Amino acid sequence: MIHKYRFEAMTTPCEMQFVCDNHSVADACAQAVLKETKRLEQKYNYFNPNSYLSKINNRKEKHLDSESKQLLQRAKLYYNKTHGLFDITVATLKDNFFQKSLKEFHFCHDKLYQFVGCEHFEINKNNIKFDNEFTKIDLGGFVKEYAVDKAVLILKKYKIKSGYVNFGGDVFVLGKKSNNTKYTVGIKNPKDPSKNILSVELENQALTTSASYERNYHIEDKEFSHIISKNPSSQDILSATVVSNSCVESGVYSTVLMIKKIDIKKDFYLIDENLNIIYND
Amino acid sequence: MQLKIPLSLVTASLLFSSMLKAEDYISVQYLKYDESGNKVEISAPTLEINKDFGTDYRLNATYISDVISGASPAFTDTSSGASGSGGAALLLKDIEKKYFVFDDKRDSLATSLTKRFENRDELTTGIGYSRENDYKALELSTSYLLWSDETHNRSYNFSASYMFNDILEACGNNFDCDKSTGSDIWNTSNIINIQVGITQIIDRTSSVGGSVFYINEHGYLTNPNYNIVRNNGTNPTLENESRPDNRDGYGFLVNYAKQINKKITSNSTYRFYTDDWDIDSHTVDSNLYYEYNNKLLLGFGLRYYLQSEASFYNGAKDYFTTQTYASSDDRLSSFHTVTYKFNIDYKITDTFSYNMGLNYYDQSTNLEATYITAGFKYWF
Amino acid sequence: MCKYFVLLSVLLIFTGCVKEVKPWQKAVHAKPVMKEGGPNSLLNKFEQHIYFSKEATRAGSGVQGGGCGCN
């Protein structure tokens, strides 16, 4: 029997589907995933001044629990690996997007720019230390994928062998379908998201898609992508999809590919302005 | 959305029919129902036999077997990529849990016996039984057709039915879900339905009818396959939805049939319904029949339905906290639907006809479905 | 409930203005297309069942509506 659940977390529609012969086991599993996802949402909510992450950003907290330590260390590792293309500290510039005029925007931008970069914090034992008061960490591009990976662990704990988790487009596929075919994940057409432009077959793999137009900011007549980067985008890619063994890994690289086409040893699909698909698989 | 559409019990006993000629026939119909955006399709073949015994008795039996099949490999299971709606505050239309079984089969059998009296009044009694893997129902019904006088221009109809339902609340495919007792958990509900009406022939080419009805459902009315989230912001829990254990509904129907000219007939119905769950509905079903010649009949229909939401329905994810009754089942929400119908009936000979139909159902909750019908009727 | 009795009374009054139609004049009324629910009762029941499964109104189309696990 197939069970399907939907709820909302991290301001995103979340969906799960898995095969299980027992109603109560399935419900308990879904309940556990919901609870865990909500816990992560609350702990790392950048916009809530009372969240654990906000306390770190406001320098009211410096002790890291093991989960946060692990997450931040991983993020810093990706920062180095991608030569700064994946950077959880670009949030330092984020508040700037609520400026009213382009003039103010450029002024603040120049001022804060120097405080962006993972080199501005250090993890010693179980504490985090910043070298200034302005650097801010946003795990937005990280926690959602991490939540998917954790959800999959919960599914496995409940002995689920077939199914998928999809948190707002960050997907992990577990096993194969009941009729022994692979699950297929469609990639939406960036110009018409109600339709899929291609579909990918997955088995025990993660897939994430980054797109620039979804949560854009507007100041005067200029549009800014919500994917903020120190490096301006050097290509007109509308969406980037990466397949790998973990959602976090896919998430990092799909974000990066939106900024710069680097060589990654994973399957990816880029969709450009003319809806051409650039891929390697 | 609704992945489970059990089509079960059907009888041919109509409220306002007057059976003037011998009607011995076998009818085979096939229905195929597909929801777009959904991977479930339903195929339902059905067999009906109608036989008169002398001038005073008529027996009708109908058997339906329908099969639900699951995903077709051509569709994607899920998708990735932006949703197209900007901003941080994305809202989900509903919170739901659904389960469905691949290749589930449902069976139903209904029979009715009609006795005609000397004055041509009719008494009909019927029994029906339907069975799905998680649902069983037995229905007993009776109706009486009373002519006001021998001109037979006006008739009254009194009908009542009682249905016993058994709903499986928790189980798996192999029915071993309740580990503590080793048994399934079945719940029951009962439905009483009463309808009283009048039909009046106005002139040679038109007639009008009206009736009032009452329906009461009592027992386990919750859908075990749907759930809600409570306390979404603070301490969310996923729970089964909960509906009251009683529902009282009533309403009325008006029907008007008129032959406009030798070839064209119109036949329309309006129905109003209201109940104590706060659901009100209006239905307008309008049909036009065109008899091209004495062999070919074309039917065009348009149905419009409007419903208001149940008092305990809410589709927003953070609504439910401590409310006793709560459901996010879209079928209890407020919406309207339009159905476009087209049908062809062709009489090959006097005793054999076949029919085909194409219909499109569009519900404003983003549910769209197409159903096609095909069949034949043989008079013996 | 009052409005329903009003409706029935109205219909009864209305039916008072009708012409008496003789039995040999009822050829039209015998036609299947004049039946409430349409000429094909089986298909009509199918349709009503689809509506009952997808909508919240489950009455008013004849008493034998049929069983449905569509709580």
Question: Using CA of residue A97, residue A101, residue A106, residue A112, what is the dihedral sign?
Answer: negative
pLDDT computed for residue A91 by the predictor: 79
- Partners of A17 on chain B (C-beta within 8 Å) are 77-78
pLDDT averaged over every residue in chain A:
83
Task: Tell me phi and psi for residue A219, to 5 degrees.
Answer: -130, 120
Helix (H) or strand (E) holding A39: helix A23-43
Contact: B159, C62; criterion CB under 8 Å: yes
Contact: C66, B9; criterion CB under 8 Å: yes
pTM over 0.80: no
3-state secondary structure of B244: coil
Contact: B97, A27; criterion CB under 8 Å: yes
What residue in B sits closest to A18 (Cα-Cα)? Answer: B99
What is the 8-class DSSP label of residue B327? B
Contact: A17, B237; criterion CB under 8 Å: no
- pLDDT (average), residues A259-270: 84
List C-alpha distances in Å: C60 to A219, B125, B198, B267, C55.
Answer: 57, 18, 14, 16, 13
Minimum distance, in Å, between the CA of residue B85 and any CA atom of chain C: 28
Minimum distance, in Å, between the CA of residue B329 and any CA atom of chain C: 10
Average pLDDT by consecutive 10-residue portion of chain B (380 residues)?
A: 33 35 85 75 87 92 75 56 40 36 69 92 93 84 93 93 82 39 71 94 93 94 76 68 93 95 94 96 96 94 97 79 86 95 95 95 88 93
Fold of B25-73+101-220+245-311+334-379: Porin (2.40.160)
Burial zone of B321 (CB within 10 Å; 0-12 exposed, 13-18 middle, 19+ buried): exposed
State the architecture of A182-281 in CATH terms: Roll (3.10)
Q: Could you tell me the two tokens for B283?
A: 């239905």
CB interface of A with B, residues 15-44, below 8 Å: 15, 17, 20-24, 26-27, 30-31, 34-35, 38
- Distance CA(B149)–CA(B152), nearest Å, equals 6
Kindly report, residue by residue over B19-71, the tens digit of the pLDDT: 445 689 999 999 988 887 665 678 888 899 999 998 899 999 999 887 765 43
Q: Could you tell me the two tokens for A74?
A: 């991983």
pLDDT computed for residue C9 by the predictor: 66
Kindly report, residue by residue over A77-129, the tens digit of the pLDDT: 999 998 888 888 887 876 666 666 667 667 777 778 788 888 899 999 899 99
Nearest in space to A156 (alpha carbons), one of A278, A10, A18:
A18
What is the 8-class DSSP label of residue C28? G
3-state secondary structure of B150: coil
* ipTM summary value: 0.82
Minimum distance, in Å, between the CA of residue C71 and any CA atom of chain B: 5
Orientation angle between helical segments A66-81 and A140-157, nearest 10 degrees: 120
Helix (H) or strand (E) holding A108: helix A102-112
- Distance CA(A96)–CA(A266), nearest Å, equals 34
Kindly list the strands in the beta sheet with A183-189, ordered across the sheet, starting from the edge strand earlier in the chain. A192-202, A183-189, B78-80
Going from N- to C-terminal start, the domains of chain A cover 182-281
Task: Tell me phi and psi for residue B334, to 5 degrees.
Answer: -90, 130
Which residue is associated with the tokens 């009503």?
C48
- Partners of B339 on chain C (C-beta within 8 Å) are 47
Kindly report, residue by residue over A170-192, the tens digit of the pLDDT: 999 999 988 788 898 888 888 87
Question: Using CA of residue B218, residue B223, residue B228, residue B230, what is the dihedral sign?
Answer: positive
Kindly report, residue by residue over A5-30, the tens digit of the pLDDT: 888 888 788 889 888 888 788 888 98
pLDDT computed for residue A99 by the predictor: 61
Please tell me the number of Cα atoms within 13 Å of C11 on its side-chain side: 25
Q: Which residues does residue B124 pair with via DSSP β-bridges, in sequence order?
A: B114, B143
pLDDT computed for residue A95 by the predictor: 64
- Distance CA(B84)–CA(A195), nearest Å, equals 11
Provide the percentage of residues in chain B whose pLDDT is more than 70: 76
List C-alpha distances in Å: A272 to A189, A191, A239, B262.
Answer: 10, 10, 7, 62
3-state secondary structure of B174: coil
- Distance CA(B344)–CA(B299), nearest Å, equals 6
C-beta of residue B129 within 8 angstroms of C-beta of residue B115: no
Kindly report, residue by residue over A32-89, the tens digit of the pLDDT: 999 899 899 889 988 888 899 999 999 999 999 999 999 999 999 999 998 888 888 8
Interchain contact C39–B (C-beta under 8 A)? yes
Going by pLDDT thresholds of 50, 70 and 90, the confidence category of residue C69 is low
pLDDT computed for residue C17 by the predictor: 63
C-beta of residue B77 within 8 angstroms of C-beta of residue A166: no
